[in-house]
Structure 1
Amino acid sequence: MVVEKRGLGRGLSALLGEAAPPPPPPPGSVTEIPIHHIHRFEAQPRARFTPEEMEALTESIRANGVLQPILVRAHPFNADHFELIAGERRWQAAQRAGLHAIPALIRQMTDVEQLEAAIAENVQRESLTPMEEAYGYHSLVERYGRTQAEVAQAMGKSRPHVANAIRLLSLPPEVQGMVSESELSAGHARALLGAPDPLAAAQLVVQRGLSVRETEALVKRLQSDAETGSAPRSSTRATRKDADIQALEADLSAALGLKVEIVDRDGQGEVRVRYAALEQLDEICRRLSRR
């Protein structure tokens, strides 16, 4: 008779009643995963979360828990650990709320499929800034060899949309920062691509509060000035606003008790009065209609 030998460690485990570690959950299932077993995907496209939205989500999770599972895949190197695909905001807020585990849907994905899913999820939610979207598309093309047409198909976007997004990466870093901070829209940024000096033009756009169409007109003037070698008219006007117009803006703001902005374009323009409540609008109307 052959007697099965048992190791001392297993014998002690049996005596002490220690349970064997549970098997890893199968792909495609939703399960509770310890938060510290989840790691951020290094190529995650979304990098910015406003304090306001994080605080609101944290309070909601404290009150109601995580209602929608995050999306993860098995970590390529650490056993029993996972890599985040989508739902980073929920994951971060759950940590702030003091949760120890979070519901997660487990999927099997390659690196490129993971990045595509992360970008697509944020694009569908309109959660990415134009620059985050541009970097995500660029990574798929440069890092994983996807064509712009393949990226467009995977994202449900047109090829020109993807191409125009990637072109934003050719803007100076300072202008990209203005886009990331929502000082400039994607439309502004695309218009600035044709400017001889995109940074100087962007500063004028922000200073004057120009619309996208006004920005396009400004860029055309700058291009014309650059071709003829004449001094840019926009620079002269910007300097004048720094001295005369800004002083007038300050006087009007003090008189009305509201933010007043003057947009001057070669002797023509607008006076903009900003109000934060209907009562302030009523007061503006009362003053303007007073005889």
Structure 2
Amino acid sequence: MAADPRAHASKAPARSPKPAKLPTPPMAEVIELAPEVIDPSFVSDRLTLDQDLDFVEFIRQNGQQAPILVRPHPEHSGRFQAVYGHRRLAAASALGTKVSAIVRTLSDVELVVAQGQENAARKDLSFIERALFAMRLEQRGFDRQTIMSALIVDKADLSRLISIASRAPRELLEAIGPAPKAGRQRWEALIACLEAPDGLKKARSFAKSKMFQTLYSDERFSELLERLQPVRLGVAGATDIVVDDDPIGSIKATKSATTFRFETAAAPEFAAYLADQLGDIYRNWKKTHSA
């Protein structure tokens, strides 16, 4: 429940601001619009807008379950601007169908508040997408009270969101993607690793690898964090094995044993191949190292 604004005058802990009340017209008529006459919101709330094939197939089979919200475009007559429902809009465009929409006349402030609150209610954005959305709004000159209303967060949470988004290299965020399972603590850990000596260099190198490209967004995040934060994840002392710029695994040597770890995604059949060749490799090694 949103906090009473009078609570700010007391010593009670700060809570999320009361969501701004949006104007509701007497009748919200749903109309059908061609996707090509609708432009996206002027501030993106997603890290990527890649086509979600599963979602497109769901819309194909079940139809659009809820209308999107648009406003008349403030600069181009006859066009509209999406407030929320960008995935539904993209799905309709991919299917070549019209999209069900509600048209409301909204100011820029009312648009971003409606856009943010819709995503908050649906829990539709990942942590890093919320952080980027907050930073983009501030960069466009929106005051913090408006941004807090849009994201339904308090001042402290908003400061954390903007801090993390502003410290993370944009090209790396786009390479990782939304990583929906990664929350604030894990993102803070990754940012700290990137700011460590050679952290960003290692991250960029891994992001260019073939293995990285085969992973889903959450897997990319986890694998990158594991490589940059080995001690916390239990692989202290491991050294990456890189062949032709492809990290295929790691090697860890102790007094009692040496352990090889191979990345299945990078070389799915290499471990089995190596096991078959170990006999010959060992015999050749003995020949070259015999007295």
1:158 aligned residue (140, 154, 158): 154
Structure 1 residues 175, 145: closer, same or farther in 2, change over 3 A? same
CA contact (8 A) 1:72 1:104 kept: yes
What's the CA shift for 1:27?
7.9
Matched residue, 2:69: 71
CA distance in 2, matches of 1:73, 1:97: 23
**Which one has the bigger helix percentage?**
1
Q: 1:243 is paired with a residue of what secondary structure? A: strand
SS at match of 2:74: coil
Return the TM-score normalized by structure 2: 0.57
Q: In the alignment, what sits opposite 2:104?
A: 107
Q: What is the RMSD computed on CA atoms of the aligned residues?
A: 4.2
Give yes or no for contact 1:188–1:215 (8 Å, CA) kept in 2: no
Q: 1:196 to 1:119 in 2, by over 3 A?
A: same
- For the pair shown, the structure with the greater C-alpha radius of gyration is 1
Distance change (3 Å), C-alpha of 1:139 and 1:154: same
Q: In the alignment, what sits opposite 2:32?
A: 32
Aligned to 2:251: 243
1:42 equivalent in alignment to 2:52: no
- Determine if contact 1:35/1:91 at 8 Å carries over to the other structure: yes
Q: Which amino acid aligns with 1:242?
A: S
CA distance in 1, matches of 2:47, 2:222: 23
Rounded to whole Å, the distance in 2 between the matches of 1:56 and 1:244 is 40
Residue type matched to 1:88 in 2?
H
Question: Following the alignment from structure 2 to structure 1, what is the Cα–Cα distance between the partners of residues 202 and 84?
Answer: 37
How do 1:132-211 residues align onto structure 2 when only pairs under 5 Å count? 132-147=129-144, 149-168=145-164, 169-173=166-170, 175-177=172-174, 179-180=176-177, 182=179, 185=182, 186-194=184-192, 195-197=195-197, 198-199=199-200, 210=226
Query: Which whole-Å CA distance do the structure 2 matches of 1:237 and 1:248 have between them?
Result: 9
Contact 2:83 2:111 in 1 (8 A): yes
Identity value in percent: 22
Provide the C-alpha distance between the structure 2 equivalents of 1:87 and 1:238, rounded to a whole number of angstroms. Answer: 45
Alpha-carbon spacing, 1:95–1:170, altered in 2? closer, same or farther (3 Å): same
Could you tell me which runs of 5 or more consecutive residues in structure 2 were left unpaired when the two chains were aligned: 1-25, 207-220, 242-248, 273-291
Q: Aligned letter for 2:69?
A: L
Q: 1:180 to 1:187 in 2, by over 3 A?
A: farther
Structure 2 match to 1:84:
82
Is the contact between residue 192 and residue 202 of structure 1 (CA under 8 Å) also seen in structure 2? Answer: no
| 1:79 match: secondary structure | coil
CA contact (8 A) 1:34 1:102 kept: yes
Q: CA deviation at 1:60?
A: 2.8
Alpha-carbon offset, residue 177 of structure 1: 4.0
Task: Kindly state the Cα deviation for residue 45 of structure 1 after the two structures are TM-superposed.
Answer: 1.5
Return closer, same or farther for 1:189/1:207 CA change in 2, 3 Å cut-off: same
1:158 to partner: Cα distance: 2.7
Query: Which 10-residue stretch deviates more, 109-118 or 201-210?
Result: 201-210
Deviation of the 1:173 alpha carbon: 3.8
1:63-110 Cα offsets, whole Å, 9 max, x none, are 3322211100011133232111111111111122221x2211111211
Unaligned segments of structure 1, at least 5 residues: 1-25, 219-232, 258-291
**Cα offset, 1:201, TM superposition:** 8.0
TM superposition score normalised by structure 1: 0.57
Structure 1, residues 105-124: CA drift from partner, whole Å, max 9, x if none?
11121123212322332233
